């Protein structure tokens, strides 16, 4: 991996004190600056770091960051990992809808599909047997309709959705709250490998070696919402990670749908305590205006989104070009 922008991004990301915002600003200001040494990296920071309240530090620290960036580049090349860098042609333009899009994403898998509709299927880590079955059916329904399933590789609904997709020989994207080399939860390592084998992708904005942290799960949830053209909540309680993704989806105006047991009439439920906990959140979402959907209708939704995907990506690509012109 000897692309100049990739070398610069990895070196900057390895500098102490350079987080997502500072990296995004530095990369946008630096453009395609050529770098071949730690001195070049220091020059980029000095020239383009105005207003970031960031000090470059001692030369030894910059040299260490440069060497670490070179090591990361070699690791990515050896493991077949790709980089999606803000401003590059293969960066998913839908992420530009976020207030804080990741400047750098590590990806294990092929390049992103340009026009395939993407549907996030998410939910609780402790689903009912009905919810787990429905999540698998929804995952299969998306890929059979030519779409890509987006989820978070967590236990429960996420695992079932990914499994339904790969068992239907389809593609699914898993957004991780950790580095690509530390799949979480570890029990899903085999599923993660299967996702890549079937043409899907593991996606992380964290440097290799980064362990999960509570805030990373919420950050991962925003990526799920932004990568998707629709979000389907299978089962969820009233609180938890699923509701973070719902909040991001609403802010981004991503359509929100929920599944609900066919033998239960939501309008007839008088109090949330009468429902199983994994269905209390979906009942509340229905009351708040989310659309009710079945696995078969998820396939119909995916096909309906197919025509919108190319137009959306084209418009967002134009926005990305304007951002870096």
What pLDDT, in 10s, does the model give residues 145-198?
A: 999 999 999 999 999 999 999 999 999 999 999 999 999 999 999 999 999 999
- pLDDT for residue 53: 81
Alpha-carbon gap, residue 85 to 180, rounded angstroms: 16
**Does this model's pTM top 0.85?**
yes
Alpha-carbon gap, residue 289 to 277, rounded angstroms: 20
Structure tokens at 266: 């939501």
Alpha-carbon gap, residue 138 to 281, rounded angstroms: 18
User: Which has the closest alpha carbon to 298: 139, 123, 166?
Assistant: 139
First to last CA, the chain: 25
Confidence band (pLDDT; 50, 70, 90) for 2? low
- Write down the domain spans for the chain: 4-79, 118-312
40: buried, middle or exposed (CB in 10 Å: 19+, 13-18, 0-12)?
Answer: middle
- pLDDT for residue 34: 75
3-state secondary structure of 30: helix
How high does pLDDT run on average in the chain?
90
Confidence band (pLDDT; 50, 70, 90) for 325? very low
Whether the per-residue pLDDT at 317 is higher than 70: the answer is no
- 51/220: higher pLDDT: 220
Mean pLDDT of 121-145: 97
What is the CATH code of the structural domain delimited by 118-312?
3.40.50.450
The strand ranges marked E within 123-235 are 148-151, 172-175, 201-204, 230-233
Residue with tokens 């402790």: 126
115: buried, middle or exposed (CB in 10 Å: 19+, 13-18, 0-12)?
Answer: middle
Mean pLDDT of 207-212: 94
Cis ω on the peptide bond leading into residue 157 (within 30° of 0)? no
């Amino acid at each position: 991996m000897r692309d100049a922008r990739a070398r610069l991004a990895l070196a900057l990301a390895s500098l102490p004190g350079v987080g997502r915002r500072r990296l995004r600003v530095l990369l946008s200001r630096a453009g395609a600056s050529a770098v071949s040494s730690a001195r070049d990296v220091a020059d980029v920071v000095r020239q383009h770091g105005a207003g970031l309240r960031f000090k470059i530090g001692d030369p030894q620290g910059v040299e260490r960051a440069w060497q670490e960036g070179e090591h990361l580049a070699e690791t990515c090349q050896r493991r077949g990992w790709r980089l999606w860098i803000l401003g590059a042609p293969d960066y998913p333009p839908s992420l530009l809808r976020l207030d804080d899009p990741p400047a750098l994403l590590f990806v294990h898998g092929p390049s992103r599909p340009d026009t395939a509709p993407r549907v996030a299927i998410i939910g609780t880590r402790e689903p009912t047997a009905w919810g787990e079955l429905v999540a698998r059916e929804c995952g299969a329904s998306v890929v059979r309709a030519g779409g890509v399933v987006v989820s978070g590789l967590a236990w429960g609904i996420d695992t079932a959705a990914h499994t339904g997709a790969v068992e239907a020989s389809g593609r699914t994207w898993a957004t991780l709250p950790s580095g690509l080399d530390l799949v979480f939860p570890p029990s899903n390592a085999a599923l993660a490998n299967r996702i890549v084998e079937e043409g899907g992708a593991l996606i992380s904005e964290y440097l290799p070696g980064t362990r999960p942290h509570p805030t990373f799960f919420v950050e991962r949830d925003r990526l799920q919402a932004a990568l998707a053209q629709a979000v389907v909540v299978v089962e969820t309680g009233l609180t938890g990670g699923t509701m973070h993704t719902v909040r991001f989806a609403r802010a981004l105006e991503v359509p929100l749908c929920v599944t609900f047991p066919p033998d239960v009439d939501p309008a007839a439920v008088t109090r949330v305590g009468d429902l199983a906990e994994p269905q209390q959140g979906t009942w509340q979402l229905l009351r708040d205006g989310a659309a009710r959907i079945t696995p078969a209708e998820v396939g119909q939704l995916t096909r309906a989104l197919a025509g919108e995907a190319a137009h959306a990506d084209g418009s967002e690509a134009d926005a990305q070009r304007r951002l870096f012109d």
